[in-house]
Each structure stands twice: as C-alpha cells, then as structure tokens.
Structure 1
Amino acid sequence: MFHPKRIVAPFRPVTDVYNGNVLTIAAALKMADSHFEQAILWKPGSRTTLICVAQAVKTYPGADGLQNLAHTNVMFPRGVIKGEDLVGITKPILSDIWVARMGRTSVTSGYSFTTPEGKCIASVKRVHVQVRDGKPVPWTNADREMATMDNPGEYSLPVIEEIPSGIDLAAFDTGCLEKSTTIIGPHHCNHTHVDHAALAELTLQGFFISGVSYEGRKYSFHYRYPAQKGQVVSCWVHKNLKISLLYGKMKEDKNYNLLLVALLDTISGRTSSL
C-alpha cells in the first residue's frame, strides 16, 4: 500500500529540535504527514477518502547533536534508500512507513524516524478509516493484497490511549480553562483539507501556555469532528493539565463542535482499541 517505504525525512534543525537532542512532537507529526502523502499507493475514488481518526506519537530523548544534522526536504522514488542515494546529503534523518494493521474499514500505519547511526528518535501510530458519503467502506481483497505488514526495524509503536469518560462534555465546564483562540487559515491546510498535524500543534500550544513541559513525552490524539478552513478554534486545557481540547465553529454558528482531544502520557489507564 505504501511506496516508497523509506525516504529522507523533511527536517529543519533550527525549528524541529528541542534542547539539542529531542525531535519535537510537532516535527514528528509533520514528518508522518509528509511520508503518508507521498507514499500512499492506493488512490481513493472521487467519492471515497481516508479520514484520520486517531494517532499517537512518542519522541525519544538522547540523540546528541540532532541540531547539527542537515536541513533536508527531498524524497527518493525508490522503495529502499541505498548508499548511492545519499550522495550529497549529510547525515539525513530516515523515515520508514508500514502497515501495522488492517481492520474491516480502517488501516493502521506505523512510522519510525531514525538518525544515520540507526537510533530511533520518534515513532508514530496513525489510524485512518476509509469513508464514502460519510459512511465507512470495507476494504476490498485487492486493497488488502497491497498492504504489506512489514515493520522494517521491529520498532514498537506508541499506544493510543482511550479518552476518559465524560471528556466530551461542554468545554465551558469548570474543569477546563481557555488558553488560545485562532482562525483556521491556509497555513493550517494540506491540499484541500485541514492538516491533522497542524490541529495537533494547536493543542500543544494550549499545554505550552499552561506551562506544561510536553516535549520528549507521549501524546495521543483523537479526531472527533472535521475541521474546516475559516473556523474559529478555541483550545481548552483540563485542570489536571494532561488533556487539551480543541473546539471549532464557523463564525455564523452558535455552538462549538469538539474537533480534537489530546492526551498527554497515560491518564486514563485504558488502552484504545484502535
């Protein structure tokens, strides 16, 4: 289903590194977005699309000198990068993608990002559902034959944590505080849709404003309602400082819809079935 399975990850050492040795959460999500967009072989029909419903990301501290790696923004057309492919590129970060699981209508993809020395600096688990006319559509046998479930390095994927019960109550509950408000613009969009990594980054801003240290930790994201360009979005942080909620509405609407729930580390004690 994915080709190429390995690329040189788009990496900006000036903005994508925290504390000199940690890939930022936002950078890992954007790298995953980039690889998925370039590597997906299965092309949905005009009435069928893939909707991201959940993802988890984990970054691993300790990659000393990460900020000294090369700025890269290239992609190779072959499935496996060979030595001659890397001529002229100094110390790139490599991105691998694979199918981790296929459900009846869903596909779970795995991503790993490694240094030239083979050290894993981040991993991402992402779940998409195939949808047509707003309803899930089962995969065909041909789709399943295209999905090769081979983890290139036997990397462990982060667990997607389950949303605690009651978290989808109104944002104006006394347990939440509003931290930021913005409008979804072109810079939040990827082609024709609002970028999932951009939405996740808005929830991270809520944690940052709350004074929560979040880099080098694990996050789970649950996408509850489709975001649209032009929406007013409001980020609320729960009082335990481990849940960030993103609500959105068009200017003419009266009520907000819950767009995204971000969970820091493990707070519910329950693992999602995704």
Structure 2
Amino acid sequence: MARDARRAHPHRQRGRHQSLPRRQRKQQHPRRAPHRLRPQLRHQLRRQRSRHIRRRRLLERQHQYLLRHQRNRHRPNTSAVSNPAPQAVYQTERWGSSTYTFPNLMPVTNYTLRLHFAEISPSVTTNGNRLFNISINGTQVLTNFDIFAAAGGKFRAITRQFVTYPDNSGQIFIQFTKGPSNEAKVGGIELFATPPLPPPRISAAISTNGAVTLTWPTYPGKTYRVQFKNALADTNWNTLNPDVTAVSESASKSDASAVGQRFYRLLVLN
C-alpha cells in the first residue's frame, strides 16, 4: 500500500519525465539539411585562411630570428683560445675581490692553472676600464690585468695559464684583488696535474762592458736563483741576489761584477 501511495503522490507524477518512442522523437526533431556556401563566400574564406597561414609563418620566422640574434649577441668569440671552455663560462662571471682554495692536492706535484676571461660588463667599453691583480699562493702573477686590452676588445675570450704547485698543506689558493679601476672578475678556473718541470737552463749569456746578462725560459709564478763561482774546483756557489720571480715565459738577470771567467747555474726555489 505504501508503494502505491508513493506513485499516486502529485509531486512525484509532476516531476517524472515521460519518454517518447524513438520514431516520435525523430519526427519532432527532423534533421536539418546541410548548409551550402556560395562559391564567392567559399573563395573569400579560403583567401582569409591562406593570409592567416602566411602571417603566422612570417611571425614564426621573425620569432626564430630574434631568438637566434639574442643568443648570438653576447656570445664571446673563442677563436683565439686553444681548447676553450664552454660558452657558459665566458658568458658568466664572478666579480669582486675573492679567494679560491683547492685543497687535498699532492704537495710534490706540479699543477697547471688556467684562468678564463671575457669582458662582458656594460661598464667596460675601452682599455683601462677594469684593472685588477691576481696572486697564486701569495705570489702576484698578474698586476693591473686588463681583459679588454689583452683580448683586443669586448666579448672576446682569453686565458692566462700558470704552472704552480701546492703548499705544504696540499693547497693552492688564488686571490683576485681590486686594482686602480673597477672590480676583479673571473669567468672560470681550470686546474689539472702536469708532468714535472724540466730543470731550468740558461739560453743566452751576453757580456757588455764587463756586465753579463743571463736569459732563460721560465714558468710564471716560479722563483729562480742565479748562483756563480769563478772556478769549477771551488766548493761553494755564490748567490747573485736578489732572486727572480717569473711573470712571463722568460726572465733575465745581469751580473755587473763579473771579472774574468765565471760559471753560473740556475735553481728553482718553488
């Protein structure tokens, strides 16, 4: 009885949807005939579509050109660097006075240190806008270094290479300090072990008015001592002060007290 009462409820009957047979639904909603465009209108739509496609392709080409130009605009030239670093090294920099320490190195092993630079700062536009100093293990190897002048312009990669060795604790530390103008900077630091250095040899000895000038190839950062004696039979060698710290690939020293025959030798102190 309760079931029949629910069916007879007026609200239930009013809210119930009555489904029609399938044939009646088709008759109530007949299918519309497809709309056919006039030939002129169809031709006009085709022209609009083709113009839209051409414009989109043009915008895509312009966008690709702008992206390529943006990438190449500040891409430093690495043609003057043998075995250059990746482009990201020359496109970035750390500026300001700083110190880098490389620990846990072999004290008796020589290491090659390569410093990578490229002048990319908008504040540098000519020679002398940036001058700074670099020291390795407390020995200054570059003084008033000018990247712009050394590279020959802006956005040009250069490197400076040094042969050095760790201190007694097995560390190599590099210091970048501010010079007369602007701040110190570096793009990348590369350090790798190298074979032992050959013993130094005097390549030239020129005597002029009683003074002898000695010249020999060097490794930047190395300190050399010149010693002499007047006879090979002498037991002790005399030191020709002061010692010479190399800042380039060659060094020279003059002996103004040379009298008669004299023998020389070179020592590497570090």
| TM-score of Structure 1 vs Structure 2, range by shorter chain | under 0.3
Q: Which is richer in helix?
A: 2
Higher RCO structure, 1 or 2 (CA under 8 Å, sep 6+): 1
Could you state the TM-score of these two structures normalised by the residue count of structure 2? 0.25
Kindly name which structure, 1 or 2, has the bigger radius of gyration based on alpha carbons. 2
